Chain A
Amino acid sequence: MQRTSLAGAALACAVAAAPAAADTVPIALQLKWFPQAQFAGYFVAKDKGFYAEEGLDVTLLPIGDQSPIQTVVSGAADFGTTWIADLLAAREKGLPVVHIAQVFQRSGFAMVALKATGLKDLCDLEGRSVGVWPSGNEYPAVALFRKCGLTSSLDPTVSKPDVTAVTYPFDPALVFPDRVDVVSAMIYNEVDQIVGLGYDLDKLDVWLLPDQGINLLEDLIFTTERVLAAENYKGSGLSGREIATRLLRASLKGWAYAVAHQEETVENHVLPVCGNTCMGSGTRADARAHQIWQMREIAKLYAAGATERGCPGFLDPAAYAASVQLLVDQRILSEAPDARTVDYGPWQEATGKTVEACRS
């Protein structure tokens, strides 16, 4: 099956202009980072043939220190996963990206400091240095600084900022705890790496940003207006909306399976593909343990909010409005994005559910 679809894909490429008679449509989905349990649902959907059942031949693209939006807007990928702030900022800069499904219902963004640093309140950051990741991953930190009434060196118009934001290439060991007082950490990845550096959780202060009122939605699926408007996408005979619908249906099926069978998923579908990134950025010796732990944390982010109400992948309008409001309040966005930013159509088609039925 896989083999014939590859041949079909090759044929479709070779005679690009001809209407597709091939079984499957080649589609590229841009992940937000290198392969790890954070993307378990997609690996499962691909390995277990959920995508193939929908007539899609999906390639999952890894990415490093860049925004997935760049590859999707440029056409190098058809769909992508990213965070809401990144998506909305790009939308405001005129890039025609569209939100089609919200996979994680909760933010996993945390700030970590040594207890010895003596930071009583997370807003108590004036004169401190904070480690952040660049490429659109710094917005939650920016929102935090602004909410606390602090300026930072991430602001292009402030020359003497209150907080020094230190960018570093994702491995917290590079900066923490020697170079920065506080470091950004995903609750499902870097926190474990910091523990792996020899700082047990009882020596650390860990602040989850959602607990600080910064609940910016994270992993979501997006595409472009161009893809959704296509009548006959890439000559497949299917519309762009139909392809988006099929992709969501298979992906959500994959996620449901992954969350329900975590150990098996990590063993069979994550560890075989995650290669060098299995151990995070290299501080934990045991790749398997790290990924199983990550899968468990990821499952918590997935199985919250709308998912608990039986609507996985649903972007709760209230949660969306809260994210938008926060971004506007903290002047990361100058105004609320236009209505075309979110398209519920493919998700409704894929799940057979309605916005009304799922809204909180």
Chain B
Amino acid sequence: MTLADTPAVASAPRERTGDPALVSVRAVSMVYADGTVALENATLDVGAGEFVSLIGPSGCGKTTLLRLLADLAEPTSGTIAIAGRSPAEARRARAYGYVFQAPTLMDWRTVRGNVLLPLEVMGFPKAEREERARRMLALVGLERFADHYPWQLSGGMQQRVSIARALAFDPQLLFMDEPFGALDEITRENLNLELLRLWRETGKTVIFVTHSIPEAVFLSTRIVVMTPRPGKIETVIPVDLPQPRSFETRETRRFFELATEVREALRRGHGFEVED
């Protein structure tokens, strides 16, 4: 209740970079052909270097918003700017990497081959491709599995390949759509920690869709709470947990306070069916 009066639009904290908003969403709505309102009047700014989570129950428009940012869908109204460009221009400039809920790896390519895919498509020189793939696999701790096929790996390892692939061409932005949603709790917590490390080391801006409150609190610098029917932004909660975060972060009092805050914001928007 403490944030009942917090405006739904919050400007990004500038303490990390001081840059103007990297991602700017202005009054964006998305209505499907059948009349379903997937997203209504969403406005949001994300600054460079932030880690912003979009949280909410199914149908709240969080994935829709991510797809609009990535130019995988077009808004019905409103404007989106990514570093001053339209999403389509940003996509053509290869400004972001996208990680899907499913690993979405090519069965016919090895782990290395999958990481090489964007580099091949984007025409990187061969030597550089190999070098980048090697570095990315090292970054996610999968060097030893470079020559395995995706189906020979566990779900968590597959998702790490997918992350390595998204980082391989060094985009400014990382869009992640519930990347750990299908994994077990232990693997998920490990990967959360791993992801935070990557974020710190690479300085990427991450926009992360989840329906797990602890995950959102643990990862984010800000949490965008969304509610369904119609999908809209309920509130934005800044997360002031100190960096770097560790397993112990989850046991601090502040962690629980923030989790409660998110839960209550969801409840206000009738988003009860959120995972705890």
Direct contact of A and B (CB under 8 A): no
